[in-house]
């Protein structure tokens, strides 16, 4: 069996920035073991697979070790592939996913993803989380991920967490965030060693939690977040009561063919 595979740098305006994702179009779904094996072989934070479903697309995301419920940068990468390489002329895409129907709208050069908001609530921090961070947090909250709020961007930049301790935590990953400096409203980093990702370069889905938090704290519906990983990237956020729109651009790094065993 052969499949075309694209590798796209999402939330980036040039290659070697943002978050790389693999995107694999498929005519129909193979078994899950094959999807996970391809993602493990790629060793990227996410590999996205999609199949046509009428006028929509079924979309699934896999880390090297797990299928996940929601992924922003690989959704952005998938929409980029459809618009740029596969001749999609619509201005709006519909993806059927484990998180419901997600829309991606093309607005000039920018793509806007419509995702469910995942607001966090204050929580008692596990001892392993505090030990791993090694700093006194301003606040600790929880949603799909733990979220640790620090006092300033310098503290986020200086962070070198103990990944073996983070791996013991019960949620998907750990968001660390702090106020930014204009024009950036907030900064963040994201760690998910339980899912085979030490540090994710730019995490769209984390902004479904970051957006509502900073909207309430700053009193703004439109926000600019900057993820301060080594590659780095910026995510524009339009935050509503139940949905978050995430905007960004993407750049293709490669297109090739993968070869897998016949079923």
Enzyme catalytic residues: 46
For 158, phi then psi, to 5°, come to -80, -10
Q: Which two tokens stand for residue 179?
A: 């106020």
Regarding beta strands 46-53 and 19-25, do their DSSP bridges make them parallel or antiparallel, or are they unpaired? parallel
DSSP 124: P
DSSP string, 78-122: HHHHHHHTS----SEEEEEETTEEEEEEEETTEEEEEEE----EE
**Cross-strand bridge partners of residue 53:** 56
Q: Are 47 and 62 in contact (CB under 8 A)?
A: yes
The set of residues, in sequence order, having a beta carbon less than 8 Å from that of 250 and lying 6+ positions away, is 8, 9, 10, 11, 12, 18, 76, 77, 79, 80, 111
């Amino acid at each position: 069996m052969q499949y075309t595979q694209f590798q796209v740098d999402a939330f980036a305006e040039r290659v070697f920035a943002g978050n790389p994702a693999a995107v694999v179009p498929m005519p129909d779904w193979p078994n899950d073991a094959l999807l996970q094996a391809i993602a493990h072989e790629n060793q990227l934070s996410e590999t996205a697979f999609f199949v046509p479903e009428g006028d929509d697309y079924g979309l699934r995301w896999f880390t090297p070790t797990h299928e996940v419920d929601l992924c922003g940068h690989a959704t952005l990468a998938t929409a980029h592939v459809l618009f740029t390489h596969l001749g999609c002329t619509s201005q709006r895409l519909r993806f059927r996913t484990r998180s419901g129907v997600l829309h991606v709208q093309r607005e000039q050069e920018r793509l806007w993803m419509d995702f469910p908001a995942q607001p966090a609530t204050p929580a008692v921090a596990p001892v392993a989380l505090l030990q791993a961070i090694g700093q006194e947090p301003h606040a600790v909250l929880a949603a799909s991920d733990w979220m640790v709020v620090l006092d300033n961007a310098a503290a986020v930049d200086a962070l070198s967490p103990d990944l073996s301790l983070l791996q013991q935590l019960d949620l998907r990953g750990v968001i660390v965030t702090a106020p930014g400096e204009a024009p950036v409203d907030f900064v963040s980093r994201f760690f998910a060693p339980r899912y085979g990702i030490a540090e994710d370069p730019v995490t769209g889905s984390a902004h479904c939690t970051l957006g509502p938090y900073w909207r309430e704290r700053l009193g703004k519906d439109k926000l600019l977040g900057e993820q301060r990983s080594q590659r780095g990237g910026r995510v524009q956020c339009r935050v509503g009561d139940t949905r978050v729109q995430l905007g960004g651009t993407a750049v293709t790094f490669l297109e090739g063919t993968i070869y897998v065993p016949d079923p």
